[in-house]
């Protein structure tokens, strides 16, 4: 079975996925792979330059995160343009990766699982939920960005209430409920 793990910025998706990995299950991280592809895949790189301009990359070929973030969060249309370039390749790689795994459960971590069209690529979805103020504080501390920047990212992502309704299961990650116990209580069936 393929299980999607999603949740808004700062919800603790990666923390939950680390626990899943420690239990011996493979996890494909979409967000990390997308960032890698944006640097390593020449076709993707060129398409991004065509859309954003040469400033999308630094002189040494790395992502210019500031320029790319400003472009993506400027409008839904801009976000969709970049997603249309990167997501099909990430989805294809996930499907190939999942086929190569031997575990009975494989997981895919994606902040934008629903927005990226991954819902129909997985059997079940777990939403990792944390209260908004907790998410804001975690992200400020982790990414060293302002409250306004965190709010802009949150506003660009699907609303948490909507994600919860679209998901099959929910893990509460406010820091006071045992994550492993919550995971163990989930009985996966197709």
Gap between the Cα atoms of 180 and 171, Å rounded: 10
Half-sphere exposure of 71 (CA within 13 A, CB side): 21
Q: What is the CATH number that goes with domain 2-184?
A: 3.40.50.300
Going by C-alpha positions, the residue among 31, 23, 35, 22 that lies closest to residue 4 is: 31
* Residue that is written with structure tokens 């967000």 in the block: 31
In degrees to the nearest 10, what's the CA dihedral of 53, 57, 60, 65? 160
pTM above 0.85, yes or no: yes
Q: pLDDT tens for residues 115-136?
A: 888 999 999 999 999 999 999 9
Strands of the sheet containing 2-6, edge to edge, are: 27-29, 106-109, 2-6, 124-129, 169-172
Q: How far apart are CA 59 and CA 65, in angstroms?
A: 13
Q: Where are the domains of the chain?
A: 2-184
Q: Convert the pLDDT of each residue in 41-84 to its tens digit.
A: 999 999 999 999 999 999 999 999 889 988 988 888 999 999 99
């Amino acid at each position: 079975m393929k299980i999607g793990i999603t949740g808004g910025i700062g919800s603790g998706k990666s923390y939950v996925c680390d626990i899943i990995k420690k239990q011996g299950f493979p996890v494909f991280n979409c967000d990390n792979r997308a960032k890698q592809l944006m640097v390593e895949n020449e076709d993707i790189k060129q398409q991004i330059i065509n859309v954003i301009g040469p400033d999308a990359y630094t002189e040494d070929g790395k992502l210019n995160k500031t320029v790319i973030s400003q472009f993506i969060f400027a409008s839904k249309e801009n976000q969709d343009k970049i997603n249309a370039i990167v997501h099909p390749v990430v989805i294809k790689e996930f499907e190939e990766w999942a086929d190569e795994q031997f575990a009975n459960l494989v997981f895919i971590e994606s902040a934008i699982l629903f927005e990226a069209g991954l819902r129909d690529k997985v059997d079940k979805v777990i939403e990792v939920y944390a209260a908004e103020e907790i998410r804001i504080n975690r992200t400020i501390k982790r990414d060293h960005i302002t409250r306004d920047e965190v709010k802009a990212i949150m506003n660009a992502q699907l609303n948490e209430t909507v994600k919860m309704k679209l998901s099959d299961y929910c893990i509460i990650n406010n820091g006071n409920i045992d994550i492993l116990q919550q995971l163990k209580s989930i009985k996966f069936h197709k």
